[in-house]
Amino acid sequence: MLDQNKTTRVEMDWSGPERLQMNMGPQHPSAHGVFRAIVTLEGETVVAVDAVIGYLHRCHEKLSETLTYAQYPSIASKTDYVAAMTSEFAYVMAAEEIGKFEVPKRAQYLRVIVAELQRIASHLLWLGTWCMDMGGALGGGATIFLYCIRERELVLDLFEALVGARLLYGFFQVGGTRYDIPDGWAQQCRQTIDVIESRIEEYEQMLEDNAFFLARAKGVGIVSRELALDVGIAGPLLRGSGIDYDIRRNAPYSSYQDFDFTVPTEQDGDCYARYKVRMQEFRQAVAIIRQALDKLPAGPISSRPALKSVAQIRIPKGEAYARVEGPRGEVGSYIVSDGSAKPYRMKWRGASFSNLAILPHIIPGHKVADVVAIMGSVDPVFGEVDR
Amino acid sequence: MLVALPPWVPMVISGFVVLNVVIGLVTYITLLERKFAARMQSRIGPYRVGPHGLLQPIADALKLMMKEDIVPTAADRRIYNLAPIVFLIPCMLIFATIPFAPGLGVADLNIGILFFLAVSSMEIVGLFMAGWGSNNKYALLSAMRAVNQIISYDLPFIFSALIPVLLTGSLKLGDIAAAQQGSLLKWFVFYPVIGQLSFIMFIVATLAAENRVPFDILEAESELVAGFRVEYSGMKFALIQLGEYAHMIGSSFLGALLFLGAWSGPGPEALGPAWFLLKMVLMFLLVTWIRWSFVRIRVDQILALSWKALLPATLGLLLTTAVVVVWRTGGF
């Protein structure tokens, strides 16, 4: 109990000489979701960080056992709500692998288009929030954030025209896609990616010519090549540490081998390297979408009949793991099927979860302000971490 | 029949007028900043309350007045309650010495600029009291940062403000302004080389003294939530906000007076205060422009920038100016 007579003291929770324990989260402006970092400070320097997760646990894996293969893709969106298409993608791919379903070429290309659009949308949100972490909601960071949101809206408009929803789509279906693109959509898509490509250059000018931005991003939160491999981080973080690994190229799925794209890597492993990787991924995503729109074959969008009932899709006994390269790295889904219309067991592998494990390795030794910069550069989405 | 008034009466009246004008200015300069920032970010900004959102500041003030006043249980009540007032007073006092036109001001002291600089750095006491009295870790860290930053940036601020003093040869703000009258080229910002350099240094030091991005590590809401004012609500929060903006307007007035020729401008002399106000707004918008396009830098980088770059630079420039002034007046 708090002694009311002694309340006029400043409680510092001394746990060592000159040490202060401070909570950052679960409700904190810097947290990209409900993440709690208990940081131990010596002055302004962080000496230890304890990451607490689980505030957004929604029993996703258990939930999938109660939902059919036709229903769950719409719910899979909610694991990583910033890149909803990616999780749907992984789920249907695992189901297709067990059922040995063919996916028509047109559906494969459509999947690639939406996955890459989703990558752009997700990276835009990352760029905005990361700059806001460094620049403040009342500063230049907010300016970049609003620019990025403006461009993300364009992508969301495309998704809205495609499926009618802006955040959680349900576009994927076992055996293909649920919808075909409407008339004029391809043209709208081309215009959108042109706009985004030109705006990306503007952001680069605004940020990379800014000495303060470079001072905040360069040399901060260095992840060495060895550490990256030991911890098992994925996606742009891994490529920012100089490891040339991308599932789209190393284990192509959904016809990624048809497209000509490069996998950007940077050697430094700091926040700036991760930023550079993501900025180049924008351009690669734009290039892939252009090629996919150019080569988009005619034909059916699904190898299976259109959905009429929720239990329509039955998958033979078996188990499979499927993985896709999401905006944050490897997103995988493991399904055990018992032959019914619902999975017997289902497991998610989220990239944010493994990426988050890098934080206690790289944060100690940095200043408090760098904690948010590093956290932002990791780009965690807590729906995917806690599931 | 005129009754001979005691000499303090006009002072009190003018003080009262200036105080209220400043408060009015603060409310509307916040709207200006919000509109300016909104345009930068391709937004519209406040628009709903009154035509073009013109009544928004009044609505905000009313809202703040009606908010519940929360005092944390563990706070040091006396210090916590006193801090906003201690913070506000120096921010208001700085307007005492500013002459808004020749002879129009509360008290154009013969050590006016010294008074301004001394009083404006007193706000740190209120800041520290707020940070300490809140008994909050974010606030405490912010208060520590405040002390670091204000100490580091007061010296460059003073040195860059002293360069016009050297060029004029007077500490009186009225004299400094008067020395720049007549022609555009007499403004100290157009003084060859020294003028431009000292103006840039003044802007940088002002940004830091006003705690604006990129130097707003005190409130740094991405890590310290709201810094020293995290526990304040209602009118106490409004007082802190008022003090902060009053300080900003005061510094903008000082910058316009020291470098941009104060009330000099085309047209009749009666337009002088209007020109001065316009230049103040320009100074304010310059700071706002920087604020909304830069990211915040880290506390160690801020201190390094001050002690390793800005302080030696301002000091060197001050010495150079002294030499130039002596040389030009034939002192050698």
Closest by CA to B177, choosing from B99, B68, B111, is B99
With CB atoms and an 8 Å threshold, state whether A139 touches B292: yes
Contact A355, A221 (CB under 8 A): no
Contacts of A29 in chain B (CB under 8 A): 221-222, 225
CB pairs under 8 A between A and B: 130
pLDDT reading at A18 higher than 80: no
Domain-located, residue B103: yes
The pLDDT score that the predictor gives to residue A5 is 47
Contacts of A134 in chain B (CB under 8 A): 222, 295-296
Handedness of CA A226, A228, A234, A238 (dihedral sign): negative
pLDDT reading at A184 higher than 50: yes
Cα–Cα distance, B227 to B131 (Å, whole number): 8
DSSP at B308: I
Which of A10, A371, A372 minimises the CB distance to B140? A10
Measure Cα distances from B123 to B97, B102, B130, B150 in Å.
17, 28, 11, 9
Domain-located, residue B39: no
pLDDT band at A7 (very low <50, low <70, confident <90, very high): very low
Interface test with A, best of B141, B149, B230, B295 (most A CBs within 10 A): B295
Which of A9, A136, A215 minimises the CB distance to B222? A136
Domain-located, residue B158: yes
With CB atoms and an 8 Å threshold, state whether A372 touches B223: yes
Which of B42, B221, B293 minimises the CB distance to A138? B221
* pLDDT tens profile A101-130: 888 888 999 999 999 999 999 999 999 888
Q: Which domains does chain A have, with CATH numbers?
A: 51-386 (1.10.645.10)
Contacts of B300 in chain A (CB under 8 A): 44, 367
pLDDT reading at A220 higher than 50: yes
Interface test with B, best of A13, A32, A41, A44 (most B CBs within 10 A): A44
Counted domains in chain B: 1
3-state helix, strand, coil in chain A (%, to 5): 50, 15, 40
Chain A nearest C-alpha distance from B102 (Å) = 37
Q: Percent of chain A having pLDDT more than 70?
A: 94
In angstroms and rounded to an integer, the radius of gyration of the C-alpha atoms of chain A is 22
With CB atoms and an 8 Å threshold, state whether A140 touches B293: yes
The pLDDT score that the predictor gives to residue A123 is 92
Q: Which domain holds residue B182?
A: 70-328
Please name the residue of chain B whose CA is at the shortest distance from the CA of residue A31.
Answer: B222
Domain-located, residue B203: yes
The pLDDT score that the predictor gives to residue A336 is 92
With CB atoms and an 8 Å threshold, state whether A136 touches B42: no
For residue B17 the two structure tokens come to 């007028």
DSSP at B306: I
With CB atoms and an 8 Å threshold, state whether B291 touches A138: yes
Domain-located, residue B33: no
Q: What phi, psi does B66 have (nearest 5°)?
A: -85, -5
The predicted model gives A330-353 an average pLDDT of 89
Domain-located, residue B56: no
Domain-located, residue B3: no
Chain A nearest C-alpha distance from B217 (Å) = 9
**Using beta carbons and an 8 Å cutoff, which residues of B are at the interface with A?**
37, 40-43, 73-77, 132, 135, 137-138, 140-141, 144-145, 213-214, 216-217, 219-225, 291-301
With CB atoms and an 8 Å threshold, state whether A371 touches B223: yes
pLDDT of chain B along its 332 residues, tens only? 456 777 778 778 888 888 888 888 888 898 998 899 898 888 888 888 888 888 988 898 888 888 888 888 888 888 898 999 999 999 888 888 888 877 777 777 788 888 888 888 888 888 888 888 888 888 888 888 888 888 888 888 888 888 888 888 888 888 888 888 877 777 887 778 888 888 888 888 888 877 777 787 777 777 777 778 888 888 888 888 888 888 889 889 888 888 888 787 777 777 878 888 898 999 999 988 888 888 888 888 888 888 888 899 999 999 988 888 888 887 66
Residue A326's beta-bridge partner residues? A329
Domain-located, residue B216: yes
With CB atoms and an 8 Å threshold, state whether B76 touches A8: yes
The pLDDT score that the predictor gives to residue A10 is 38
* Residue B53 neighbours by CB distance under 10 Å: 18
pLDDT band at A14 (very low <50, low <70, confident <90, very high): very low
Please name the residue of chain B whose CA is at the shortest distance from the CA of residue A203.
Answer: B293
With CB atoms and an 8 Å threshold, state whether A140 touches B138: no
Contacts of B74 in chain A (CB under 8 A): 2, 7-9, 11
* pLDDT tens profile A60-104: 888 888 888 888 888 888 888 888 888 889 999 998 889 888 888
Please name the residue of chain A whose CA is at the shortest distance from the CA of residue B41.
Answer: A143
Which of B135, B144, B222 minimises the CB distance to A10? B135
With CB atoms and an 8 Å threshold, state whether B221 touches A29: yes
Closest by CA to A61, choosing from A364, A353, A265, is A353
Interface test with B, best of A213, A368, A372, A375 (most B CBs within 10 A): A368
pTM of the model: 0.85
Contacts of B80 in chain A (CB under 8 A): none
The verdict on ipTM greater than 0.90 is: no
Contacts of B132 in chain A (CB under 8 A): 10
* pLDDT tens profile A250-298: 888 888 888 888 899 988 888 899 999 999 999 999 999 999 999 888 8
Q: What phi, psi does A341 have (nearest 5°)?
A: -85, -5
Cα–Cα distance, A119 to A247 (Å, whole number): 14
